[in-house]
Amino acid sequence: MPYLSWNEGSQLFRHALGEACVLGRDPLVCTIAQPGLPSLSRTHAEINRYSGIWWIRDLDSANGTLLNGLPLNHPHGNALHDGDTLALSGWILRFTDGFPGLDEALFIERVGDLFEEVKPEPTQALTLVRGIELLHRSTENLLKEMDPEVMVKGLLDGSLRLLGGDRGFLVMKLPDGGWRTAHRVGDVQEGIGLSRSVLDYVDREHTAVLSNQPLADPRFGGFSLIELHRGSLMCAPLGENGDLRGALYLDRESEGRPFSRFDLALFQAFVRQGSLALRQAMLHRQALSQAELHGELLRLRHEHQMELDHHGQLLAALAAPLRRLQSWTEGLPGDLAEAMRHQIEQLTDLLEHGQRADLLENEVAMSGHPWHLDQVQEELIRRWEALLRLRKASLDLGEPPQASAWVGSGPVMSALSGLVEPMLMQLAPGSSVAGRWDTDRGHYVLRLPCPPGLHAPLPDPWTERVLREAGIQWTWADQILSLLLPQGPDTQPEEPNRPLLGLVTEELNLLGLFQTVAEVSDIWLFPLEEGPPLPPLPRFRFLVVDAKGVKDPEACIRAYRHHPSFATTPILVVRCGEEDTPQLMHAGATDWLAEGFRWEALHHRLQVLRGHTELQQRALAAERLDSFRKMAGTLKHEINNPLAIILMQVEMLQRKYPEEPKLGKIEEMVERIRALVQVLQKMREASTEDYADGSSILKLG
């Protein structure tokens, strides 16, 4: 971080340049002010940052500002460099890239590379050779380890031996800004050493520091260093390019054993090499973890294939007992035998369907076909007739429309039986069900009124899936089971057989991980490009963006969030750094996962997002319903008052002109309006009734 520094008498003042500042005489408008200099302008100069470079610009052309003794020669300002001197009407300031006022003996930082810090003097030759030897051996020992945990401890031990320290700490930065001690070595006493002010300074400036008098060091604010000994200390940031947030700290307990600038350069070189080695070890561990995950995926696929083989063998073995049962019931008389034959026939159909290859997980739904309603009704009656006779009940479906429904492939009749037959089993002897055909919004509807006391159907998951893939819907309201068959292909559900999981990444190694999660979550994996495709698109349940697998994750998230097909889709960002999280969440992301996550964590996070989305949808539906009811109440109040006045006037006119027919017509229209107002009142007071397909309606009756 750059600084401005100036002297007032014998005292040195410093100002850290974190943002733009104004220099001048007026303390109310200037960031740094000198009210005691009358020759200084009220706002004399401005320092700002453009494209990573600090610039100074004159705000008072009369008095002027001098840069290194020369006037500013550019109307937009001049660039500042380390060590530049500024003169503002007798006020002298110095611009430095690092902390100013360091004496290069007690307080040192921002040293160069190891060989840059060695001066060509014979007395330093032995020191250099010895230092390089120790550095080489320590680095060699460090690189022998591949376990990051062992490497971290070796990094700390090696730095302590390399530089003759008494104790050392390796600390890591926490997301909340605090620090956590990962390892400690040497003569460590509880509550002594490791000041947070030193760590915060090193992390903020990202530079190695040396202090031979830490209690008097102006960089750390000596009042907060009461936990330190009076000995020397060195601290260096851990990590390259900010990917590891931590620091390595060591000190000497007793006074009189100072560290030198060469020690700091050696320490900095060792920590940098150790950081690179540690990063490689972490990448190696991640690679091993990915390899383990891939091996686990192969194992699961092998087990899955074995289960499929075992499933096929069981189905094949089940065929023989079914054939024997079918042959035994062929000669049996009575309704019970007939019902058993139909159930065995249904089991046989399911068995044949289960043995087909298109029932595997990679099944693609076949297109639908026309299905004449006469055939539908005839087949349903044939399947249910024996069961109804057994229950001593009757069923009359009426005359079906002379038309065809458009139904998908699969064991649809078996699924319909699985939905309806459990209800038929509840019929009391002598019961009668009078069904009827109807049409409703592109569907042919078979309505089956059920006697009071029958519960709503509870189909099993297989029955629900087959009906959904065939395009058949069902509802239950007012003791009526309604079966909705699409009239044509255009009324088939537009949703895919499984919800979609969109994945935006260029990292092919992630596809195996996400394929595992998709299979476990029963959703389709759908790879997407960094730029969203043109609408229209099917609705996606989730969208996952790989922060390290796209060039600009923030722009990618913003583009998808503005896409009409992803406006409300939960967006999960994976392999996201903590420092990038605020910008990505602001761009439209819903949640994030850091690098190194496993598939179980990803699966759990997607389930949480799904529940969060459902809660949002319910809250939105409740809000809309509440607004609708408030509107109905307002309309009722606003309409009733004028109606009462109109009706009163009509009654008065009828008394005066009893033979006038138009007045009776007006009264009739007023009553019709009143009836509509009563409907509005029912809408306001009515309860909602949920349907099996997830929709809900206002129940007015």
Q: Can you give 113-164 as a three-state secondary structure string?
A: CCCCCCCCCHHHHHHHHHHHHHHHHHHHHHHHCCCHHHHHHHHHHHHHHHHC
Mean pLDDT of 161-169: 83
The more confidently predicted of residues 79 and 90 is 79
Q: Do residues 466 and 382 touch, judged by C-beta distance below 8 A? A: no
Residue 598: pLDDT above 70? no
Q: What percent of the chain lies above the pLDDT cut of 90?
A: 3
What is the structure's pLDDT at 363?
39
Residue 206: pLDDT above 80? yes
Cα torsion through 209, 212, 218, 219, rounded to 10: 10
What is the structure's pLDDT at 688?
55
The more confidently predicted of residues 94 and 365 is 94
Of 34-48, 212-226, 387-401, the range with the highest mean pLDDT is 34-48
What is the structure's pLDDT at 382?
82
Mean pLDDT of 583-609: 77
Residue 365: pLDDT above 50? no
The more confidently predicted of residues 589 and 278 is 589
What is the structure's pLDDT at 163?
81
pLDDT band at 224 (very low <50, low <70, confident <90, very high): very low
The more confidently predicted of residues 119 and 517 is 517
Interior/surface letters 175-192, b for 16+ CB within 10 angstroms, e for the rest: eeeebeeebbbbeeeeee
Mean pLDDT of 193-203: 81
The more confidently predicted of residues 92 and 630 is 92
Whole-number Å distance between alpha carbons of 380 and 5: 93
Q: Give how far Cα 303 sits from Cα of 126, 358, 468, 521, Å.
A: 65, 20, 29, 18
Mean pLDDT of 519-537: 77
Q: What percent of the chain lies above the pLDDT cut of 70?
A: 70
Whole-number Å distance between alpha carbons of 106 and 264: 12
Whole-number Å distance between alpha carbons of 98 and 112: 13
Q: Which amino acid is at 492?
A: Q
Strand partners of residue 404: 372
pLDDT band at 611 (very low <50, low <70, confident <90, very high): low
Whole-number Å distance between alpha carbons of 486 and 445: 9
Strand partners of residue 445: 438, 484
The more confidently predicted of residues 62 and 506 is 506
Domains assigned to the chain: 3-96 (2.60.200.20), 107-285 (3.30.450.40), 335-491 (3.30.565.10), 500-597 (3.40.50.2300), 619-699 (1.10.287)
CA angle 110, 113, 117 (to 5 degrees): 80
What is the structure's pLDDT at 143?
58
Q: Is the pTM of this model over 0.75?
A: no
Residue 52: pLDDT above 60? yes
What is the structure's pLDDT at 319?
63
Average pLDDT, the chain: 76
What is the structure's pLDDT at 225?
44
The more confidently predicted of residues 200 and 634 is 200
**Which tokens sit at 400?**
């079906």
What is the structure's pLDDT at 355?
54
pLDDT band at 255 (very low <50, low <70, confident <90, very high): confident
What is the structure's pLDDT at 80?
92
What is the structure's pLDDT at 600?
64
pLDDT band at 285 (very low <50, low <70, confident <90, very high): low
Mean pLDDT of 662-676: 79
Q: Do residues 242 and 579 touch, judged by C-beta distance below 8 A? A: yes
Q: Do residues 500 and 541 touch, judged by C-beta distance below 8 A? A: yes
What is the structure's pLDDT at 469?
79
What is the length of the chain? Answer: 701
Q: Which amino acid is at 280?
A: Q
404 SS3 class: strand
Nearest to 418 by CA among 477, 346, 476, 475: 346
The more confidently predicted of residues 374 and 313 is 374
Q: Do residues 371 and 407 touch, judged by C-beta distance below 8 A? A: yes
pLDDT digits (tens, 9 = 90+) for 509-518: 677 677 767 7
Cα torsion through 419, 422, 426, 431, rounded to 10: 50
What is the structure's pLDDT at 556?
92
Burial of 485 (0-12, 13-18, 19+ CB in 10 A): buried
